[in-house]
Each structure stands twice: as C-alpha cells, then as structure tokens.
Chain A
Amino acid sequence: MEIGLLIKDLMAQIGSFKLFIEELSVYRGEIVSVIGPNGSGKTTLLKTIAGLLKPLQGEIHINGELVYKSHRNKVLINIPPEKRVVGYLPQNYLLFPHMTVWDNIAYPLRAHGSDKRIIEERVQELIDLLNLRGLEKKRVNELSGGQAQRVALARALASKPKILLLDEPFSNIDQESRESIRRWLKEIIENIRITTLIVSHDPSDRILSNRVIYMRNGIIINIE
C-alpha cells in the first residue's frame, strides 16, 4: 500500500511544550484517529503537517512528496502551507464571516485561479455531497452548528486535498447529534477515499478510524 503521510524524527516546540514523533505513517485513503487529552500535542501535530508551525527537526512526506526536512537546525526543504494541498477543518470551523456559504466553499478553488465554470461545478458537487442545498447565499453567522461543520468540511475538501486534517470535529456538536454525525462523516470520508487524520480528546471518536494513535505529553504512547 502507498503511504499518504510519513513523519520521521519530528520535533516541534511551542513555548516550553515539545512534540516528538519518532515515526508515523498513514496509508493512502486510511483514516487515523489521534486521541489524547488537552495539551498532548494533537493540534500541534496537525499544524506542523499543514505547514503552520515550523518544526525544529525531522521530515514530513505527503503522498510521497517531501514537504519539510531539516537537519541539525538547518531547514533543507519547507514547502509553504499554500502549496501543500492540505484540507484542514479547525476546531471552531473558522468560516470566513464576511463571505457567504458559497464563497467559503469556493475560497480554496480561487487560490488556484481555476476557471469560473470549474469552480461552480465543484462547489455545486460539494453542496450536493454535503447536503447544503438552499444555504448557498446564507451568511455564515446564520448557520446552525451542524450546518457550519458541513460548510467547513466542504471548504476543506474543495481543492481535492492530498490529506484531510480534522481538529476535534465534534467538539461543537451536542452529545445527542454526535453519533449520527460521526456515522455520516465516516461515510463521506470513506466514499471519497482520502487520507485522513482526526484529532480528538474523546476516545469514542476512535470508531471513525482504521487505526488509533494515543498521544500524551507530546509523544505517541500507543498505536492500536
């Protein structure tokens, strides 16, 4: 099987907190959950993969492409975040408040200077896939929590990313709706067959994935 994400000897630091991943590999199309308490380094790991945080050392490969490499404090390769083609769903969704639902979903496509017709087709495809019909012209502050999550997911998937990073995707969803949304999300991700890393502090989110990685204090303590 081909590798979708490979991390080697990665060390990153924020203040006094250190993240160290000796080796982590995720197969293409595989869904992996990263479970750990707050402050265990889960979001730091996602930000490092996305290119928002520069590690002190290590290697990151996405779909076989080396996107970051440094050795003895010397950065050899560092592809900027906008060139990594990563889909990212942040914990609080961060929908752009000055845009409509349609514009939020189209946002990543506009970065690549895509043709207007191609943008319209892709946005429409995602609106159908994520059941967002009728919400296209709404401002994001008019959406419910579940709708906002679907828009954020559509936006993350718009540019057909090589890897999908989901940061606590259910933290803003009430307990009653979580189970059905978990099943729905798993179905969507499995259908589009995208390498996915889901970060959560809730161990029940592990049912979404093929493999589970447990983290604590910035290191991987177990893989199931």
Chain B
Amino acid sequence: MISPMIHTFKSINVEYEELSRVLGHGFISTFLRISLPLARRGILISFLIGFMKAFSDFGATVMVAGIIIGKTATLPSMIYLQINSGDIEQGLALILLLLLVSLFTNSVMRVWGYR
C-alpha cells in the first residue's frame, strides 16, 4: 500500500507545486490544495490494494493468529474451515461473497485508474 502511494506522489509534476508557491501558497497549503488532490486517485487505489490484501489474506493469518471465528478469521480462512468441515453450501456462499467483493474492488480500481 505504501509503495504505490509513494509512486503516486513522485509522479506528480513538481512544476504544479512550484507554481503554487509562486502564486502565494506556502508549503502546507500547496500540499493540501495541489499535491493531495492530484494524488487522490493514487491514494484511493493504494487503499484498495491494501484492503484487498488484508481481505483475502490466508497464509499469514493462519500461521500467526490462527482461525478464531469472530476474531482472527478472514474470509479465505473461513472458506477453508467450512469446506474442510464438509459444509459445502456455506463455503460456496463465502466464495461467492469473496468473488463479488474482489470484482467490485477491481472494477473501481480500473475505472479510477483509466480516468
């Protein structure tokens, strides 16, 4: 999440920020009025990438925190638990939910990325 955000800020044309200074705005005002709005798309995409990574995490969660329902269980670990315990219906429902959230997040990222 941090890496795309750094890339976003680095990709802003520094001349906009320089011009803002010449037009009378100080460093903080320039950051709030120019840098941040110009980076907003990249910031949102970075958040979505971070969200998707956390939302779909399996290995690290199981290794470090285990699968405690309502506390440490993530959606993929719940799918694993349900399928393993033979509750295929609930497992498939959770897979569908994961798929819908992933599709929605990816669509938002694509729309914002191409704008």
Contacts and interface: CB of A to CB of B under 8 A. Distances in A.
Interface stretch (A28-36, A57-65, A90-98): A90-98
A21 to B, nearest CB: 20
B22 A50 contact: yes
Candidate in B13, B21, B29, B34 with the most chain A CB atoms within 10 angstroms: B21
A80 B21 contact: yes
Contacts of B40: 98
B22 A82 contact: yes
Contacts of A158: 23
B16 interface: yes
Interface residues of B, number: 18
B37 A88 contact: no
Nearest to B30: A82
A73 to B, nearest CB: 24
A155 B16 CA distance: 13
A81 interface: yes
A159 B22 contact: no
A94 B16 CA distance: 6
B24 interface: yes
Interface in A14-70: 50-52
Contact of A88 (B16, B22, B26): B22
Contacts of A6: none
B17 to A, nearest CB: 10
A94 B15 contact: yes
B38 interface: yes
**Which of B13, B16, B23, B29: most chain A Cβ within 10 A?**
B23
B83 interface: no
Contact of B22 (A52, A92, A97, A112): A52
B18 interface: yes
A100 B15 CA distance: 19
Interface of B: 13, 15-16, 18-26, 29, 33-34, 37-38, 40
Given A80-B26, A81-B22, 13 more contacts: A52-B21, A82-B26, A88-B22, A94-B19, A96-B16, A96-B20, A107-B20, A107-B33, A110-B33, A111-B23, A111-B24, A111-B25, A111-B29
